[in-house]
């Protein structure tokens, strides 16, 4: 299935014991299909993949394919500190119907460019699915530069989710690999309009967990070249992002706002804490003012 459009980095519903809340996950997946999202990015930063067990990550992928496989693109984030763990998760994703896998560079330890490129080469060689690199310097401690991206493309990486929040650098990615068979996805809705105009094929949008409609509207206005409307929607989206940041964790904020929309998605997994009641009330009031929540 083609990887494009609005792709929420899906939060993972958990129960109070930190186990995957299957009913909540199925409910959230159906919600995303209903609201027009084009795919889901599983077990990434919003999905709390790095603090989940391998078996939990596998189970989330299995549930997603069972619930919405064929209805939307399913990307399994398989990034981890260990190459062996990444390959194990990638093979499982391939065997169980994922459309693509993605991986942040191996984290915790500091690695040079050659080590990271070799890590991705081994991942690419382990599966027959498209492999996406995930540039998130803030969490991984490694920055995928344009020169590194060229090397990744040379070893068979097929796309990039760029969460570097640097539009100039994103334009350099387009210049380096835009003419190749390579799929560029911007990793934030904050830059959706300019990134798509530069050549991005879609957006992994944290905000779209709770409010997919406004991000889908922004994407559609942009690809249809209705730029006056797109500018208005981009500013609305960025204001909504600012509201999410009232909470200490924007992922936790999405759990709370989905509950406000009547979608029971349980709670985050520790150490991530739910939002406070004060944060919830402030966010709710602001989203009502913005027109994204009803009274």
Cα 202 to Cα 204: distance, rounded to the nearest angstrom: 7
Secondary structure E strands in 95-244:
100-103, 131-135, 159-162, 183-186, 202-204
Q: Which CATH class is domain 5-213?
A: alpha beta
The three-state secondary structure class of 103 is strand
Tell me if 134 sits within 8 A of 106, measured CB to CB: no
Q: Decide if 261 contacts 217 (C-beta within 8 A).
A: no
Query: pLDDT at position 294, please?
Result: 87
Measured CA to CA, the distance from residue 154 to residue 118 in angstroms comes to 11
pLDDT in tens, 100-150: 999 999 999 999 999 999 999 999 999 999 999 999 999 999 999 999 999
> Which residues are CB-contacts of 90 (< 8 A; sequence separation ≥ 6)?
76, 78, 101, 103, 123, 126, 127, 129, 131
pLDDT, position 1? 86
pTM: 0.97
> What's the confidence (pLDDT) of residue 113?
98
Q: CA dist 209 to 155, 160, 224, Å?
A: 33, 20, 23
Could you tell me the strand order of the sheet in which 5-7 lies? 5-7, 202-204, 183-186, 159-162, 131-135, 100-103, 73-77, 39-42
Q: Where are the domains of the chain?
A: 5-213
pLDDT digit of tens for each residue in the chain (295 aa)? 899 999 999 999 999 999 999 999 999 999 999 999 999 999 999 999 999 999 999 999 999 999 999 999 999 999 999 999 999 999 999 999 999 999 999 999 999 999 999 999 999 999 999 999 999 999 999 999 999 999 999 999 999 999 999 999 999 999 999 999 999 999 999 999 999 999 999 999 999 999 999 999 999 999 999 999 999 999 999 999 999 999 999 999 999 999 999 999 999 999 999 999 999 999 999 999 999 998 7
pLDDT reported for residue 257: 99
> What integer pLDDT is reported at residue 212 of this predicted model?
99
């Amino acid at each position: 299935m083609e990887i494009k459009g609005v792709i929420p980095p899906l939060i993972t519903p958990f129960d109070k014991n930190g186990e995957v809340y299957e009913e909540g996950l199925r409910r959230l997946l159906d919600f995303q299909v209903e609201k027009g999202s084009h795919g889901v990015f599983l077990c990434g930063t919003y999905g709390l993949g790095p603090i989940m067990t391998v078996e939990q990550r596998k189970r989330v992928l299995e549930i997603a394919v069972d619930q919405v496989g064929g209805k939307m693109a399913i990307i399994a984030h398989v990034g981890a500190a260990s190459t062996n763990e990444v390959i194990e998760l990638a093979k499982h994703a391939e065997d169980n119907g994922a459309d693509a896998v993605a991986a942040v560079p191996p984290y915790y330890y500091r690695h040079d460019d050659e080590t990271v490129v070799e890590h991705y080469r081994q991942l690419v060689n382990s599966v027959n699915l498209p492999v996406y690199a995930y540039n998130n310097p803030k969490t991984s401690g490694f920055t995928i530069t344009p020169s590194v991206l060229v090397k990744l493309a040379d070893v068979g990486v097929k796309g990039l989710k760029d969460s570097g929040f640097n539009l100039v650098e994103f334009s350099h990615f387009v210049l380096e690999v835009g003419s190749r068979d390579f799929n560029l996805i911007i990793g934030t809705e904050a830059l959706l309009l300019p990134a798509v105009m530069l050549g991005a094929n879609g957006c992994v949008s944290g905000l779209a967990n709770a409010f997919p409609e406004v991000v889908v509207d922004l994407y559609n206005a942009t690809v249809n070249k209705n730029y006056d409307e797109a500018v208005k929607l981009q500013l609305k989206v960025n204001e909504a992002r600012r509201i999410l940041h009232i909470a200490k964790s924007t992922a936790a904020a999405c759990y709370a706002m989905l509950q406000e929309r009547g979608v029971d998605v349980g709670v985050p997994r520790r150490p991530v804490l739910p939002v406070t009641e004060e944060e919830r009330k402030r966010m709710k009031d602001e989203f009502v003012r913005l027109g994204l929540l009803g009274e």
